[in-house]
Structure 1
Amino acid sequence: MAASLGQVLALVLVAALWGGTQPLLKRASSRLQQVHERTWARQLLQEMKTLFLDTEYMMPFFLNQCGSLLYYLTLASTDLTLAVPISNSLAIVFTLIVGKVLGEDIGGKGQA
């Protein structure tokens, strides 16, 4: 079964949403404030509050989850042997591109 152009574009969009948000999530999570509570339940609630109120973290997280939803919907009509390689391999490419744009050291030439 050959994939349509729409299916391939949906998988590329999935890759962009997954890969493009990874460096943003990494950056935002490194800036989150640390919380310390006495009980595990209060700790969990405080950590969730901290995450949900941080728009710098929540926006890329929301976009990443939209990519997962689109992937799930696309899998209903796309061959799995096509969907997985396209989305996963391109996600790595998008992660590298966005990471480079954000100034991350992605390695490469001249690295030890």
Structure 2
Amino acid sequence: MVSVVELLSLVLVSILWGCTNPLLKRGTQGIETVTRPSKLTQLLAEFKFLLLNFSYIVPFLLNQSGSLIYYYTLSTTELSLAVPVTNSLTFLCTLITGKLLGEEFGGKYAVAGMFLTMTGITLCVVSSLDPSKQNKAIV
């Protein structure tokens, strides 16, 4: 049985993860120009580049807040529902946000894939609802 709060938490996590993925990708642009002579100084220079880059750090912090919400939601939600719903919706949010930012949409079958993904998510949610509440809603 899934509550409305749990379901909304999973949707919020998906939005936070999915919408920040393309922004994180954009925020890392330019890191390939950072070069240092040794591996350690290279690592430190890249770390500094990311920490001081607000177009990376803000989406990163939003993404991590999604992880905190997800961790909390897993303590109350069935794993068999939380994982497929969150991962599928994250994928959809990533595609949509990427498209809004001008990225390639994913080919001619992307819309069909999105429809099938939403159908699968709907089936997962409906199957996890309390059967006694489903009967009352029908009557």
Do they fold alike, i.e. is TM over 0.5?
yes
Residue of structure 1 in register with 2:65 after alignment:
66
Q: How does 1:53-92 map to 2 (within 5 A)?
A: 53-92=52-91
| Shift of residue 30, structure 1, vs aligned partner | 2.3
| Shift of residue 33, structure 1, vs aligned partner | 5.6
Paired residues, what number?
Answer: 109
Residue of structure 1 in register with 2:38 after alignment:
39
Q: C-alpha offsets along residues 52-109 of structure 1, whole Å, 9 cap, x if unaligned?
A: 0000011111111111111111101111001001100000110111111111111333
For the pair 1:105 / 2:108, whether they are aligned, the reply is no
**Is the 2:31–2:46 contact (alpha carbons within 8 Å) kept by the matching residues of 1?**
no
Which of the pair has more CA radius of gyration? 2
TM-score (norm 2): 0.73
**Which structure's residues are more often helix, by fraction?**
2
Amino acid at match of 2:94: T
**Is the 2:16–2:66 contact (alpha carbons within 8 Å) kept by the matching residues of 1?**
yes
**Structure 2 stretches lacking a partner, 5+ long:** 110-139
Q: 1:109 to 1:41 in 2, by over 3 A?
A: closer
Residue of structure 2 in register with 1:27 after alignment:
26
Larger relative contact order (CA 8 Å, sep ≥ 6): 1
Q: Distance in 2 between matches of 1:28 and 1:49?
A: 13
TM-score (norm 1): 0.90
Residue of structure 2 in register with 1:9 after alignment:
8
**Is the 2:13–2:66 contact (alpha carbons within 8 Å) kept by the matching residues of 1?**
yes
Q: 1:32 to 1:43 in 2, by over 3 A?
A: closer
Q: Which moved more, 1:32-41 or 1:43-52?
A: 32-41
Calculate the aligned-residue CA RMSD, in Å: 1.5
